[in-house]
Amino acid sequence: MKSWYYDSAYRYTMTDNLQPAIRQSSQARRPDGNPKADRSRYYILGHASHLVDTARMLGGEIVAVEARFLERFGASCWFVSIDFADGSLGHLDLTIGIRDDFEEGFRVYGENGSVQGQMFLPWFHKSSIVECFSASDRVFRRPLGEDAYTYKLQLEGFADTVLHEEPLRGADIDDGVAAMRAMVAIARSVESGRRTALADVAGGV
pLDDT in tens, 23-80: 889 998 888 888 888 999 999 999 999 999 999 999 999 999 999 999 999 999 999 9
The pTM score is: 0.90
**Structural domains in the chain (count):** 1
In a domain, residue 188? The reply is yes
pLDDT at 166 over 90: yes
In a domain, residue 11? The reply is yes
In a domain, residue 152? The reply is no
In a domain, residue 170? The reply is no
The separation between CA 23 and the C-alpha centre of its own chain, rounded to angstroms, equals: 29
**For residue 150, what pLDDT is reported?**
87
Contact between residue 161 and residue 168 where contact means Cβ atoms under 8 Å apart: yes
> According to DSSP H, which parts of 17-59 are helical?
39-43, 49-59
In a domain, residue 180? The reply is yes
The domain of 75 spans 2-18+35-146+175-195
Percent of the chain with pLDDT strictly greater than 90: 79
Contact between residue 124 and residue 15 where contact means Cβ atoms under 8 Å apart: no
CATH number for the domain spanning 45: value is 3.30.360.10
Which amino acid is located at 153 in the chain?
A: L
In a domain, residue 202? The reply is no
| Beta pairing, strands 62-72 & 103-110 | unpaired
In a domain, residue 157? The reply is no
Query: Averaged over 184-196, what is the pLDDT?
Result: 97
Q: How confident is the model at residue 179 (pLDDT cuts 50, 70, 90)?
A: very high
pLDDT at 171 over 90: no
In a domain, residue 48? The reply is yes
| Mean of all residue pLDDT scores within the chain | 94
